[in-house]
Amino acid sequence: MSQTLVDNIKALEQSASTLDPNAEERNDATQSLQRYADAFLSRLDENKSFIQDGYQDEALSNTDFSQASNIEEVLHLLEQHMELPGINTASGGHLGYIPGGGLYAAAMGDYIADVTNKYAGVFYASPGAVRIENALIEWTGKMVGYKQGFGGNLTSGGSIANLVAVTTARDAKGIKAINFHRTVIYTTLQAHHCVDKAIIIAGLRECVIRKVALDDCYRMDVIALEQQIKEDRQAGLLPFMVIANAGSTDVGAIDPLHAISKVAKEQDVWMHVDGAYGGYFVMLNEQKQKMKGIELADSVVLDPHKGMFLPYGTGIVLVKQLHHLQNAFAYEANYMQDTEGVASGISPADVSPELSKHFRGMRMWLPLKLYGEQAFKDCLQEKLLLTQYFTEKIKELGFEVVCEPELSVVAYRYVPEMGDANEFNKTLLEKMHEDGEIFISSTNLNGTYVLRFACLSFRTHLSHVDRLIGMLERHLKELLR
């Protein structure tokens, strides 16, 4: 062996080891990072919740990767160009769309997950990591009301979780390409658009999609559902799947899940519930009653990055009968032969499209373990009461509420005595966005422009809601002047 080869390897080893800092270097970097995180968190309430400036800022698009940088410089770059523009999603003033979370303990969980870099895809590779993920599936499944024999997977979010559910349903019901054009999926106009995407990605674009009628509060009309299924069957079509909401994005509507489950059972269609937004409210007794029937669904989606206040990137799909999930996703490969036959743990890779994946369970397991379930229940309950408070206050200001909120989303608008109500509310939202102190968003309900209040950030408290009410009052007065 030539000495040159060994010398070259050693030289490269020295340079490559920059990627693996020693204890002192790690300590310095961690301290810088800690200072940055603390400063960011302490600025949260001073900073606006929405900043419209900065969309033209190209500094990060043109990042120079050719040279190494110092961590303080890098953090400064982020502070200047990443942190501020757009929605301040970590702030309690984020009351638009469906707010995500960002628990500090979840960041600590990610830190552990990333430093240990445990391979959470396959039980053989890390029984501990996989047991952590499976314990979370078990906990969530039992909370929903599943008993035994169910399975699930931690996904990157609600969209992929819905995709996994639709794919599982397709295979469980034996839907074949030759019949796609006769196969019917029932959903409503309140379904999140990711459900439509999931149907397309699962190859079911050619299926007949029925948007079942809604009642006055945007919930699926079960009589219309049943009638439509019967008519479709008589017409030679193949009713396959009904997709219901446990908290719609637009207005927070909960479909009549129990009644839907009866129809689904009688008509032999797969029942799926999208609880990406509302699912974790099932932890609370009153909301569990409202969602009665969710436990009878064949599959359910929940988003811990919404209802469990985790940072973006964590959804859950549950399937009532594990074997359906395995039928859709389990595969074998020659090079994986050593991993087979290791008993007592379901491998996430056998119940999802992913093989290598982030050990995302750690960011949920750690906060739950550190704080316990009750803290999460109280936080969700607080959001419901804040929603009630907000609803009462805006009615006093003269706003019209589309429906009494079932969860923590309120759709509302102001109807001026003169002029177009849609234009008025649109202008009001523009003023709110220019102001930016608290962030809200809007939606369109059958051509009616409405404002939305979506309260789900663990950092949203009474003071934020009061600030929002103050802003609405201020801008409303200005517009009415």
Residues near ligand PLP (CB under 6 A): 98, 157-159, 192, 194, 249, 274, 276-277, 303, 315
Asked if residue 253 lies in contact with residue 403, where contact means CB atoms within 8 angstroms, the answer is yes
Tell me how far, at minimum, the Cβ of 306 lies from ligand PLP, in Å: 7
| Phi-psi label, residue 250: left if phi above 0, alpha if psi -120 to 50, beta otherwise | alpha
Tell me how far, at minimum, the Cβ of 280 lies from ligand PLP, in Å: 12
> In this complex, which beta carbon is closest to ligand PLP, that of residue 232 or of residue 303?
303
> In this complex, which beta carbon is closest to ligand PLP, that of residue 237 or of residue 456?
456
- Distance, in Å, from the CA atom of 428 to the CA atom of 422, rounded to the nearest integer, reads 10
> In this complex, which beta carbon is closest to ligand PLP, that of residue 315 or of residue 367?
315
> In this complex, which beta carbon is closest to ligand PLP, that of residue 101 or of residue 472?
101
Question: What letters, b where the CB count within 10 A reaches 16 and e where it falls short, cover 173-183?
Answer: bebeeeebebb
> In this complex, which beta carbon is closest to ligand PLP, that of residue 129 or of residue 456?
456
- Distance, in Å, from the CA atom of 65 to the CA atom of 77, rounded to the nearest integer, reads 13
Pick from 347, 325, 322, 366: nearest CA to 125: 347
Asked if residue 243 lies in contact with residue 280, where contact means CB atoms within 8 angstroms, the answer is no
Tell me how far, at minimum, the Cβ of 249 lies from ligand PLP, in Å: 4
Quickly tell me which residue has 């002047």 as its tokens. 481
Sort strands 238-245 and 183-187 into parallel, antiparallel or unpaired: parallel
> In this complex, which beta carbon is closest to ligand PLP, that of residue 154 or of residue 476?
154
> In this complex, which beta carbon is closest to ligand PLP, that of residue 123 or of residue 270?
270
Amino acid making up residue 81: H
> In this complex, which beta carbon is closest to ligand PLP, that of residue 103 or of residue 476?
103
Tell me how far, at minimum, the Cβ of 360 lies from ligand PLP, in Å: 12
- Distance, in Å, from the CA atom of 337 to the CA atom of 343, rounded to the nearest integer, reads 14
Tokens coding 394: 């805006």
Tell me how far, at minimum, the Cβ of 305 lies from ligand PLP, in Å: 6
Tell me how far, at minimum, the Cβ of 171 lies from ligand PLP, in Å: 21
Tell me how far, at minimum, the Cβ of 363 lies from ligand PLP, in Å: 14
Tell me how far, at minimum, the Cβ of 434 lies from ligand PLP, in Å: 25
Distances (CA, A) of 365 to 119, 132, 214, 273, 360: 16, 7, 38, 24, 9
Sort strands 238-245 and 299-302 into parallel, antiparallel or unpaired: unpaired
Asked if residue 352 lies in contact with residue 153, where contact means CB atoms within 8 angstroms, the answer is yes
Nearest residue to ligand PLP on Cβ basis: 158
